Structure 1
Amino acid sequence: MPNEREDLTTAPPPQEALPIRLTMDDADSPSDVIDALFLGRFATGAQPFSTGRTLERVKPGSTLLPPAARVLRAAREGEGRFTLAEGTGWTVLVSRYGSRNAQVTVTAVSQELADERLSQALEGAEDEPRPEPTDVTMGFWYVSPLRGPHRTTRQIAAGAWDEVRGNYTAPVADALDGLMKLTADDVAGRLLLLHGPPGTGKTSALRTLARAWRDWCQVDCVLDPERLFNDIGYLMDIAIGEDDETGGQGRWRLLLLEDCDELIRGEAKHATGQALSRLLNLTDGLLGQGRKVLVGITTNEDLERLHPAVVRPGRCLARVEVGPLSRTEAVSWLGTEEGVGPNGATLAELYALRRGVTPAGTPTHPTPPHEGLYL
């Protein structure tokens, strides 16, 4: 009977042990064919080494191809463009999404050759971001039909806390004072809850928080939170995380879920099934263990309508009700009493009044009849 060593040495290579067959029908697209052709040399072992990179700021006119590349296939599908090219001992696939985003993958006969060709393809192809002093890098997660769970980053303008503190009524500003000064060593509780009426500045406060925490916390906004907790693969991708380019593995991450009323209101367990349980598991259950993940949620619901499991003591890092400014505060903010009601005004209403529009949407200074008919 042959021994184990003999079995290993005489075993066929994996590409022969598992033959690869490609079946196509009218549901397949040209880009599917390009993908299959690209994977062929890697699958058969002719080019067993691979490397790749995602780009988000491709310069106009960049081909993303190494020198002397010979194009084999090219396809356009909506905003997607796909190019398959080759050279001696290597193959490259360029997948472009829109005008600025791309994925470049190279297979080759050696890892050194694959790395070298990728470096040549990307040389000078990506614009460097121009961050302003007021900008903060924020990530955005979403499920792409072409790429599945995907994270992209943007520079977001955010005011310093001392500049925007006056946008909030005194009790809210006092509560946010401590939150803005928080450090990684002060984290106790994994859930940040901002609740209150629309237009009170909850999202603006989160942008400012991202700026205040940028030295120790990466902030990511989930654009499709209704899908997140019903898609295990998506949830695991986000729980594992993806570090931004500012470095610092081991940094905290804050996931922002905006307007998640259905997820955390009192009847959420019955209405959304396992979604609420998975949210809680991410904040202080097994899923969140070993991960420095905070979850920030904004909602328009009253505190009394929220699920008790969400607001129980010890779970929330902070729980802030963001309400409108009082009449006195609103008049001080605006510099006039005109348009301010007896109950004050929200931040959105004040900005509308400053632009000359009442909260109801009518101009504060109506245009006289026939004005503007003459030049």
Structure 2
Amino acid sequence: MSANPESALPIRLTVDDSDSPLDVVDALFLGRFANGEQPHSHNTTLERVRKGASLLPPDASVLRTARDDDRSATLAEGDGWTLLVSRWNRGADVTVTATTPELALKILDQATDKAVDEPEPQPESVTMGFWYVSPRRGPHRTTRQINAGTWDEVRGNYTAPVATAMDRLMKVTPDDISGRLLLLHGPPGTGKTSALRTLARSWQDWCQVDCVLDPERLFNDVGYLMDIAIGEDDGTAKGRWRLLLLEDCDELIRGEAKHAAGQALSRLLNLTDGLLGQGRNVLVGVTTNEDLERLHPAVVRPGRCLARIEVGRLTREEAVGWLGAEDEIGREGATLAELYARRRGGGPASVPRQDSGADAGLYL
């Protein structure tokens, strides 16, 4: 093999009318790395870039700039290094190539120094992560501040047996963890997602909460699953737990999931109590609209779930107390979504009678 790997790589840039100036800037940036002139590279992704931050180190010489509706690129150079800044909305990718790894890291640090605008945490908000597969960057995590009430503030949104189970769940600490799966199931509009936001606030001192935006892809893409299983924290101390939230995963965990979803269910179970989950402080929270009887027995078996809570509608008495209007509530009570719709003038908070079987079941 040649001592110079670039000699085995013919470099040709072909441009046609489907390419944009942004594509040209990206291609030009790779030249010195590809030919070996600058064989070392460092990269970082920034969220919430401070307004006015140039993301350029001192004495940078700008070679190219390009911009379209929602993205821009800047190509710059200095003595022994080249830098590419790709920006979108308030985020940015910053990549440096250089003659030495130390120089690449130094220039990257200079370019990004004090460039991130960290918002002051608000008492009513919590930081949540969001995972998704980006067409450009592969598995990617971003963070946002999410409004979340305290449990005392939202407890009245849930029927009595659910509220009692949630009382215990909100107080869980790492010492209380046995099972690794948190399962919330029940009809749409009953407040499952709202409960998870509040849980993120209640657990924020010891648990980082991340929502997976494309769960249907997660368990069918081994690379994506490994990226998430290995994890990415936000500078928190070693030993901090993570809760991965998967919303509306009916097809994954219903009774026929093993046939319909192939290896996806097996990988979920492996993450919660198999080899993949060993040595990792990872919990998995799943919401589904399925009835308990339709869930796969491997998912709901004793010992696997930290909590399994069926979130149902409020009784008529509870709904009347919530809304303060007795004549607007049907005899079957109402879901939280129906009550909010009625409060906003969106129609009566009543539902047709359904045979739901046993009363809401739950355990911790």
Using structure 2 for the length normalisation, give the TM-score.
0.89
| Corresponding position of 2:146 | 156
> 2:129, 2:142 within 8 Å by CA — same for their partners in 1?
yes
RMSD between superposed Cα atoms in Å: 2.1
Whole-angstrom distance in 1 between the partners of 2:238 and 2:327: 52
Deviations 1:301-358 (A, max 9, x none): 1001111111111111110000011111111111221311111111111112222222
| Corresponding position of 1:181 | 171
Taking a change above 3 Å as real, the CA distance of residues 359 and 221 of structure 1, as seen in their structure-2 partners, is: farther
> 1:41, 1:47 within 8 Å by CA — same for their partners in 2?
yes
Query: Gapped runs of 5+ residues in structure 2?
Result: 351-364
Specify the code of the residue in structure 1 equivalent to 2:57.
P
Runs of 4+ displaced beyond 6 Å: none
| Corresponding position of 1:372 | none
CA-CA distance at 1:47 after TM superposition: 2.6
Deviations 1:39-83 (A, max 9, x none): 333344433443332111013343312233222233345523222
> 2:330, 2:349 within 8 Å by CA — same for their partners in 1?
no
> 2:329, 2:348 within 8 Å by CA — same for their partners in 1?
no
2:126 to 136, 145, 165: 136
| Corresponding position of 1:232 | 222
Whole-angstrom distance in 1 between the partners of 2:4 and 2:133: 32
> 1:167, 1:347 within 8 Å by CA — same for their partners in 2?
yes
Q: Secondary structure at the match of 1:338?
A: helix
Larger-gyration structure (1/2): 1
| Aligned residue pairs, count | 348
Q: Secondary structure at the match of 1:51?
A: strand
Deviation larger for 294-303 or 99-108: 99-108
1:292 aligns with 2:292: no
Query: Gapped runs of 5+ residues in structure 1?
Result: 1-10, 362-375
| Corresponding position of 1:167 | 157
1:86 to 60, 77, 80: 77
1:342 aligns with 2:334: no
Q: Secondary structure at the match of 2:97?
A: strand
Specify the code of the residue in structure 1 equivalent to 2:143.
T
CA-CA distance at 1:111 after TM superposition: 3.9
| Corresponding position of 1:46 | 37
CA-CA distance at 1:102 after TM superposition: 0.4
Matches within 5 A, 1:303-314: 303-314=292-303
Whole-angstrom distance in 1 between the partners of 2:183 and 2:207: 17
Specify the code of the residue in structure 2 equivalent to 1:180.
M
| Corresponding position of 1:253 | 242
> 1:75, 1:82 within 8 Å by CA — same for their partners in 2?
yes
Taking a change above 3 Å as real, the CA distance of residues 23 and 265 of structure 1, as seen in their structure-2 partners, is: farther
1:267 aligns with 2:248: no
Whole-angstrom distance in 2 between the partners of 1:29 and 1:19: 28
Deviations 1:266-306 (A, max 9, x none): 11111111111111111111111111111100001100111
2:61 to 70, 79, 89: 70
